[in-house]
C-alpha cells in the first residue's frame, strides 16, 4: 500500500486515524507577543484555545488576533476570558507572562489547574518553573525555551519577524510521553519543536550567550569602566550612551574580552551545578556571533521601548545559583548592579 | 539567543546537549531488504547495530551493506553475528523476518531480550505482534507499518526504489514515551516516522487496500470466475495467466467490483472489531488508486520471483479475525483458497 493512500484513509477515519490527540483545552496566561503567537499556532491543531486577557480583552474578543509574518499574515479567533474562572480547568496552560509579573501566578493559575493539567512556561531565563512549583505540583510543570523574534505592535496584532523554535523539557525530570506528544502537537501547528532530556542544562546553555549579549548590550550604555566596576552613573571612563548590538561589542577587544569572561563565568557556574559545558564553547560562540552582523538581543529592544527588563530571571537568578554553587561570578555581579541602576 | 547558536552549543556539549538518547544497542533479526535497510538507517544515529545473519554472514561481515537509492548510494558497516548469543541483550530488536519464518522466533529472540528491551516488528500484516507475545512480554512489543519499496538484489546489496515511511505503535497499548523517542530516532536517521495511537486500527486501515490489490493481483492469474468460486485450477472461465497490476484490475468493471467488495468485507471486519472505517473509503481508495497507474503490489513481485507469499499474515489472519467477530467475508475466503492452491 502506498503511503499516500494510507494517509488519506487515516486522516478521514471516524474517530481519527494515525494521530489521536483529541481536542485539547488550552489556556494562555500572558497574552503578549509570545503567548499570543504560540497560543494562536496551537489553535491550528484540534484545540480549544482560551486567552486570558486584561487590557486587550475587548479588541481580541471582537477582532481576534492577527499574526503578521514574512511567511504570510494570518488570523486566529481564540476564546477570550477576563478572569480565569471563565476558562476553568485546562489540559494545557501556556504561561507567557513577563517574568516580572510572576507574583500574579498564585492568583491566576488555580482555576485553570486540575490534577491532569500540564503547565508550560515559555518565559525567559531561570526560576520560572520554580515559581510555578510554588503554586502547582512539580510533576505538572514543563519549560520551553523559545527562539523567536516577535513584537506585539498593537492590541491583538503580533509581528512575527523570524524563527519560532521551541525546546521543550520537563521540570526536574526526563521527558515523558506527554513531552513528546506536546512537541508533536507544536510540530503539527507549524512550530519546530525539540525535546531536551535536561531542561536545566538547556536553560544554562542558552544563558551562556544571553547573559553577555543581552546584559552588556544594555549595560554598555554606562561605558566599559562602569560595567567592570559595577557603578552607574560612571565615576570615570566614557559612557557610550547607547545600547550595543553584538557586532559593536565584538569589534572592541575590551568588550569582546568581557563577553568571553562572562561566558566563562556562566560556564563555570553551570559546571558547578553539574551541567558541564566545555570551556571551548566561549570561543565557538564568539566566532559564530561574529557571523551574525548587528544582532540586537531582545533585552536591548525592551530597554529601548521602555519596557521592564527581566533582570531576575535573566541575570540575578543565574548569579544566585552560581554563587550558591560556589562560583563567585564577579563580572556578572558588577553587570547586574549597572543594570539595576540603569533601570531603577 | 539565536537558535543556530543554541543548536551549535548543544550538539557539542559534553554528554550531549538537547537530545539524549545515549548509544542504543540494536539487534536486527531478519536481514533481508527491510531489516537491512532500516537497520542500516538506524546505524546513522548513535547506535551499535548488530545484524543476525545466516546465508549472507560472510559477505556482510567482509563488505558491509550497500544501499543503492535514487537519493544516493551509501554504505553501512553493522556488527555481524551468526548466532544471537554473540549479540546478547539489546535495547531494541528489529524483527523483519518474512512472516512465514515466525516459527523461528522462539529460538532466535531470547538471547537478545532483557527486561528493558523493546522489540519492534516491521513485518507485513496481522498477527506478528501476537507471535512475539508468545515469546516475550506484551509490554515490550511495538509494531511498525512500513511504506517502502525495497529489493535485496544480492547478499549485502539492497535496492531502495522509493518511499520509506514507518508508522509506529505500541502493541495493545497507547503510545508511550519510548514510542515517541523511537519515532524521533527514526526521524533523525532520515526515516519519516509517525506514531499511531492505535496500532490495530492502523494495520486494518492498511489491509483495506492491501487485501484486494495484493490478493487479486496474484489470484487474478486464475481468472475472474475461479477467484469468485475459490477454485484453482479453474473449472470454467478463462485464466488470465499473469499477475494483475492495479490499473488492469481497475480497468475491468468485474475486477473493480470485486476489489470494492473485498474492501467492504475488510471494512466490515474492522468495524466489527471496534475499529470503525467509513464505508465511503472504498470509493475514495478506488479513486486514489486510479491515479497511480500500473502499480505492482509487493505480493505480485514476490510471486513473480518465486518467493513464498505471506498468506497467513496478509490474508488468513484477517479472515480469521473477521470471522471470529461474526463477519463472513466470503470473497476473502474464496480468494484465500485460490492463493493457497496457486502457491502450494
Q: Is the peptide bond before B160 cis (omega within 30 degrees of 0)?
A: no
Evaluate if residue B220 carries a pLDDT over 80.
yes
Burial A116-149 (b: 16+ CB within 10 A, else e): ebbbbbbbbbbbbbebbbebbeeebbbbbbbbbb
Nearest chain B CA: its distance from A80 CA (Å): 31
Asked whether the beta carbons of residue B277 and residue A14 sit closer than 8 angstroms, the reply is: yes
Q: How do residues B37-89 score in pLDDT, each as one tens digit? A: 999 999 988 889 999 999 999 999 999 999 999 888 989 999 999 999 999 99
Helix or strand run (H / E) with residue B336: helix B330-343
> Comparing C-alpha atoms, which of B151, B302, B180 is closest to residue A179?
B180
Q: Which residue has the higher pLDDT, B163 or A26?
A: A26
Banded model confidence at residue B17, pLDDT cuts 50, 70, 90: very low
Q: What is the pLDDT of residue B18?
A: 38
pTM for this model (two decimals): 0.58
Cβ contacts of A170 on chain B, cutoff 8 Å: none
Cβ contacts of B297 on chain A, cutoff 8 Å: 1
Nearest chain B CA: its distance from A176 CA (Å): 5
- Cα separation, A116 vs A180, whole angstroms: 16
Evaluate if residue B35 carries a pLDDT over 50.
yes
Chain B within 8 Å of A167 (Cβ-Cβ)?
yes
Q: Which of B206, B284, B305, B341 is catalytic?
A: B206
- Give the chain B residue nearest A206 (alpha carbons): B6
ipTM: 0.70
Asked whether the beta carbons of residue B175 and residue A175 sit closer than 8 angstroms, the reply is: no
Residue with cell 562602569: A226
Evaluate if residue B9 carries a pLDDT over 70.
no
All 3 cell numbers of residue A258? 568581557
Nearest chain B CA: its distance from A209 CA (Å): 6
Asked whether the beta carbons of residue A145 and residue B177 sit closer than 8 angstroms, the reply is: no
- Give the chain B residue nearest A2 (alpha carbons): B147
Give the SS3 label for residue B255: helix
Burial B202-234 (b: 16+ CB within 10 A, else e): bbbbbbbbbbbbbbbbbbbbbbbebbbbbbbeb
- Give the chain A residue nearest B146 (alpha carbons): A3
Q: What is the pLDDT of residue A249?
A: 96
Asked whether the beta carbons of residue A201 and residue B17 sit closer than 8 angstroms, the reply is: yes
Chain A within 8 Å of B197 (Cβ-Cβ)?
yes
- What ranges make up the beta strands (E) of B30-112? 47-52, 65-68, 74-76, 79-81, 92-95
Mean pLDDT of B152-171: 91
Q: What is the pLDDT of residue B16?
A: 40
Q: Of A6, A8, A196, which is closest to B206 when you measure between CB atoms?
A: A6
Asked whether the beta carbons of residue A281 and residue B201 sit closer than 8 angstroms, the reply is: no
Chain A within 8 Å of B290 (Cβ-Cβ)?
no
Evaluate if residue B271 carries a pLDDT over 50.
yes
Chain A within 8 Å of B46 (Cβ-Cβ)?
no
Active site residue ranges of A: 206
DSSP calls for B230-242 = T-SS-SSS----S
Evaluate if residue B221 carries a pLDDT over 80.
yes
Chain A within 8 Å of B182 (Cβ-Cβ)?
no
> Comparing C-alpha atoms, which of B9, B3, B7, B49 is closest to residue B29?
B49
Nearest chain A CA: its distance from B294 CA (Å): 13
- Name the least confident of A302-306, B311-315, B316-320, B337-341: A302-306
Q: How do residues B127-148 score in pLDDT, each as one tens digit? A: 999 999 999 999 999 999 999 8
Evaluate if residue B294 carries a pLDDT over 80.
yes
10-residue stretch averages of pLDDT, chain A, 344 residues long: 71 45 84 96 90 95 93 92 96 96 96 94 97 96 93 92 90 86 84 88 93 96 95 88 94 96 96 88 87 86 90 97 97 97 91
Amino acid at each position: 500500500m502506498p503511503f499516500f493512500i494510507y494517509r488519506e484513509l487515516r486522516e478521514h477515519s471516524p474517530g481519527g486515524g494515525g494521530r489521536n490527540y483529541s481536542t485539547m483545552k488550552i489556556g494562555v496566561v500572558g497574552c503578549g507577543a509570545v503567548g499570543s503567537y504560540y497560543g494562536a499556532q496551537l489553535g491550528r491543531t484540534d484545540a480549544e484555545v482560551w486567552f486570558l486577557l486584561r487590557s486587550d480583552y475587548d479588541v481580541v474578543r471582537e477582532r481576534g488576533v492577527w499574526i503578521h509574518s514574512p511567511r504570510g499574515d494570518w488570523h486566529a479567533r481564540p476564546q477570550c476570558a477576563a478572569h480565569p474562572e471563565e476558562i476553568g480547568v485546562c489540559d494545557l496552560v501556556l504561561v507567557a507572562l513577563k517574568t516580572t509579573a510572576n507574583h500574579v501566578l498564585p492568583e491566576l493559575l488555580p482555576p485553570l489547574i486540575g490534577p491532569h493539567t500540564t503547565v508550560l512556561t515559555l518565559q525567559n531565563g531561570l526560576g520560572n518553573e520554580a515559581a510555578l512549583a510554588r503554586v502547582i505540583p512539580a510533576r505538572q510543570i514543563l519549560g520551553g525555551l523559545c527562539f523567536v523574534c516577535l513584537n506585539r505592535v498593537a492590541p491583538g496584532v503580533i509581528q512575527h519577524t523570524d524563527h519560532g523554535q521551541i525546546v521543550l523539557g520537563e521540570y526536574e525530570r526526563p521527558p515523558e510521553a506527554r513531552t513528546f506528544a506536546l512537541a508533536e502537537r507544536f510540530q503539527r501547528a507549524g512550530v519546530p519543536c525539540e525535546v531536551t532530556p535536561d531542561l536545566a542544562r538547556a536553560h544554562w546553555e542558552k544563558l551562556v550567550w544571553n547573559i553577555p549579549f543581552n546584559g552588556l548590550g544594555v549595560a554598555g550604555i554606562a561605558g566599559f569602566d562602569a560595567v567592570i566596576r559595577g557603578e552607574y552613573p560612571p565615576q570615570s571612563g566614557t559612557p557610550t550612551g547607547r545600547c550595543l548590538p553584538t557586532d559593536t561589542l565584538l569589534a572592541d577587544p575590551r568588550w569582546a574580552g568581557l563577553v568571553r569572561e562572562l561566558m566563562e563565568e556562566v560556564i563555570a557556574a553551570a559546571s558547578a551545578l553539574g551541567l558541564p559545558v566545555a570551556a571551548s564553547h566561549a570561543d565557538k560562540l564568539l566566532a559564530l556571533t561574529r557571523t551574525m552582523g548587528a544582532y540586537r538581543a531582545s533585552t536591548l529592544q525592551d530597554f529601548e521601548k521602555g519596557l521592564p527588563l527581566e533582570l531576575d530571571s535573566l541575570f540575578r537568578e543565574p548569579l544566585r545559583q552560581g554563587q550558591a554553587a560556589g562560583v563567585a561570578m564577579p563580572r556578572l555581579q558588577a553587570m547586574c548592579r549597572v543594570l539595576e541602576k540603569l533601570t531603577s
